[in-house]
Structure 1
């Protein structure tokens, strides 16, 4: 069971920090294949590079990551198992806060960061049962099963999709709350069918030209034009260009 022993491993500030590192390393490659570098990890965590270097050394010594000087960081099987356990906690808590406590999807990340280290396995299992064993959180990120199992659909980021590509929205990144609020204002939600259209005044391809934007055709036929950073937060199931 992935959940087993998480609280024991997470007791103390050092283990809590280790969990945050592992979760961030895993999340970086969850929807794209390029492994994270120490510099990128420092930026994601908002820490000094020297602090990240020291922690990565400790994680490597504990057998949780594989890292060599000047190389990217990769999780070992043990590190991945622990990362999945924490992601399960985090995403179940986010789902619970939205479904039963009235939180907005742009508000839950920081709250879940605190609660994921405090809940017992028993309470987490009760929350999972209460929610009907959800398979994804409010942003579309997949919730690993109790055994760490996860099935990810083939998907492409909207700002990288070719004009004419069609697909269902499967993920809305929660890294930028302002971007989530803009998507909510537009009414773009999980499972909605979108088609990538040429953006007016920005060339024939998404993301081309100065001040690039991405246009999408909605199921209603309406055309919306998204800023590039907002489009980069949307993931579609890989469709076939028309």
Structure 2
């Protein structure tokens, strides 16, 4: 199914379910989905019922809300559009990485698959967006989302930033100022109740809890 065959609210709902499961194994609930979409639980519950009847979602027992194969196809198309647009906005139009999410949210509903494919070629087929999230390929496959939370890494273990959550623009701006981006090499230091210390290229930075939980890292080669 092509994403453009569905209206914006359906596209957003399916994409949000997919994103909720990208970095977490927790079940997707009506309440959680409502919080992410900024809608009331009753509105979301009604939408989920309709999308289940259309074969785009299912609710298998205690597994919460789950995408069907058709629903996943649409969700992945929307995630692909969003992340390629973010890559374009940062690399070609000079947007900061804390600005691109909202712009891409608007544009992803207006562009065609042909347009997105041409952007992908123009950008050299990027595998990650500016925040390190994997960009789904045109065939629907997705590069693996790897990495553990920086907050969970023991002191003294050299790591490389793999991904930074774009949920909070203020946190992104702080991380930018601290020099922490995908590809940055870090050495975690002492963990404290309010965060942790991190060595960034020889400079020790005090990273708060919110920032430490927004960064995912992988072992340094």
Give the TM-score normalised by structure 1. Answer: 0.85
The answer for unaligned runs of 5 or more in structure 2 is: none
**Paired position in structure 2 for 1:137:** 129
Report if the CA contact (8 A) 1:154-1:238 is conserved: no
Please give the residue correspondences for 1:72-91 in structure 2 after superposition, counting only pairs within 5 Å.
72-91=64-83
**Paired position in structure 2 for 1:50:** 42
**Paired position in structure 2 for 1:235:** 216
How many residues are matched? Answer: 221
Match of 1:24 among 11, 16, 19: 16
Change (3 A) 1:153 1:239: farther
- Are positions 1:6 and 2:16 aligned together? no
More displaced 10-residue stretch of structure 1: 91-100 or 62-71: 62-71
Paired with 1:190 and 1:73, the residues of 2 have a C-alpha distance of 31
Report if the CA contact (8 A) 2:3-2:11 is conserved: no
Paired with 1:86 and 1:153, the residues of 2 have a C-alpha distance of 17
Report if the CA contact (8 A) 2:2-2:74 is conserved: no
Q: CA RMSD in A?
A: 1.9
Q: 1:189 Cα deviation (Å)?
A: 1.3
Change (3 A) 1:239 1:38: farther
**Paired position in structure 2 for 1:175:** 167
Match of 1:106 among 98, 101, 110: 98
Give the TM-score normalised by structure 2. Answer: 0.93
Please give the residue correspondences for 1:128-207 in structure 2 after superposition, counting only pairs within 5 Å.
128-199=120-191, 202=192
Paired with 2:219 and 2:26, the residues of 1 have a C-alpha distance of 19
Q: 1:161 Cα deviation (Å)?
A: 2.6
Q: 1:70 Cα deviation (Å)?
A: 7.4
3-state SS, counterpart of residue 32 of structure 1? coil
**Paired position in structure 2 for 1:97:** 89
Deviations 1:117-137, CA, capped at 9 Å, x for gaps: 111222111111111111111
Paired with 1:105 and 1:81, the residues of 2 have a C-alpha distance of 27
Report if the CA contact (8 A) 1:85-1:148 is conserved: yes
Q: 1:162 Cα deviation (Å)?
A: 2.8
